[in-house]
Amino acid sequence: MSIEAPSHPFFGLSAFPLTPTDASGRVDTEGLSRLVERLCAAKVGSIGLLGSTGTYAYLTREERRRAVEAAAECVNGRVPLVVGVGALRTDKAIEIARDAEAAGADALLMAPVSYTPLTQDEAFEHYRAVSTESALPFCVYNNPGTTHFTFGLDLLERLSRLPAIVAVKMPMPVGGDFAGELSTLRERTDLAVGYSADWGMKDAMLAGADAFYSVLGGILPDPVLAIMRAAQAGDEHEAGRLDDLLQPLCSTFKSFGSLRVMYVLYEALGLGRAEPPRPILPLDAASHAEVLRAVEPLSVMG
């Protein structure tokens, strides 16, 4: 499968919204549609539905499909819809991938969810099985912070030979050497390479990453896009100036977890009311206030 930018769903800013639900885990499709419309209006590169920020691991198969259907109806072809299909069992991930494709997804993203730690060969077979069950392009979700699994370079090279697998979402490299890691990955694979962790976006894009997978972009796309565009244009000074405004909020991500912070912003922006799925608890009053102070500098970015 060969897909080129800009039609490629794994280029530019991939914005990851919350999936608002009620206390029983039923998706608030109206609230989700408000978030999706916000991202379409901002003209993000893609929408990363049901990623870690979208709490896919806490939703039933039925609710995941309802979320995709609602988002696809709202998007209506304006922005590529990339849907997370991670699941503990391979057969369940296959079912969820089929559901996502039938419900209107444009591409798929999968993390190696596990309880018993996976070997590199087990992860390969898992991805091979799921990626061959859909006609959609597929992104490997390398997120060791939540999955406790790290993709070796040999495994990524093997996966890149599978026809459907065209991209990888990477964590920030140890030591911050984006350019070095990008060079190695491009030498060994033909995958579109993107990164996550918002405080690293400026450096990743200045180094030439193909995409950035942004938590903050899922609710405040405009300031994130401003940094990305400056970095893509090679304007290091402007990208740095804008990135400095982002850092107080990124500090709250590190202190409280980006998911909890996103729920504060969702309510503060008047988009609706929702709480994280239990056992995750909302932030206390003092932490809530800290998040609101941290987001104030972004108002100057529009």
Question: 146 in a domain, yes or no?
Answer: yes
Please, are residues 255 and 264 in contact by the beta-carbon 8 Å criterion? no
pLDDT digits (tens, 9 = 90+) for 209-248: 999 999 999 999 999 999 999 999 999 999 999 999 999 9
Whether 5 has a pLDDT exceeding 60, the answer reads no
Phi/psi for 82 (5° steps) reads -100, 125
pLDDT at res. 298:
86
Question: 30 in a domain, yes or no?
Answer: yes
pLDDT at res. 3:
46
Number of domains in the chain: 1
302 band by pLDDT with thresholds 50, 70 and 90 = low
pLDDT digits (tens, 9 = 90+) for 256-293: 999 999 999 999 999 999 999 999 999 999 999 999 99
250 band by pLDDT with thresholds 50, 70 and 90 = very high
Query: Which residues partner with 193 through β-bridges?
Result: 168
Whether 108 has a pLDDT exceeding 50, the answer reads yes
CATH number of the domain bearing residue 203: 3.20.20.70
Whether 75 has a pLDDT exceeding 90, the answer reads yes
Can you tell me the mean pLDDT for 72-77?
Answer: 97
Alpha-carbon distances, residue 141 vs 82, 193, 222, 255 (angstroms)? 12, 11, 24, 23
pLDDT at res. 123:
98
Cα 77 to its chain centre, rounded Å, is: 19
Q: Which is nearest to 13 in space by CA: 51, 47, 56? A: 47
| Full domain range(s) for residue 166 | 12-234
Question: 253 in a domain, yes or no?
Answer: no
Q: First and final CA of the chain: distance in angstroms?
A: 38
Would you call 24 exposed, middle or buried from its count of C-beta atoms within 10 A (0-12, 13-18, 19+)? exposed
Question: 263 in a domain, yes or no?
Answer: no
- Label the pairing between strands 12-15 and 46-49: parallel
Full-model pTM: 0.95
Question: 93 in a domain, yes or no?
Answer: yes
pLDDT digits (tens, 9 = 90+) for 191-214: 999 999 999 999 999 999 999 999
Question: 145 in a domain, yes or no?
Answer: yes
Can you tell me the mean pLDDT for 82-110?
Answer: 98
The two tokens of residue 134 are 């859909």
Question: 262 in a domain, yes or no?
Answer: no
Question: 150 in a domain, yes or no?
Answer: yes
Please, are residues 298 and 223 in contact by the beta-carbon 8 Å criterion? yes
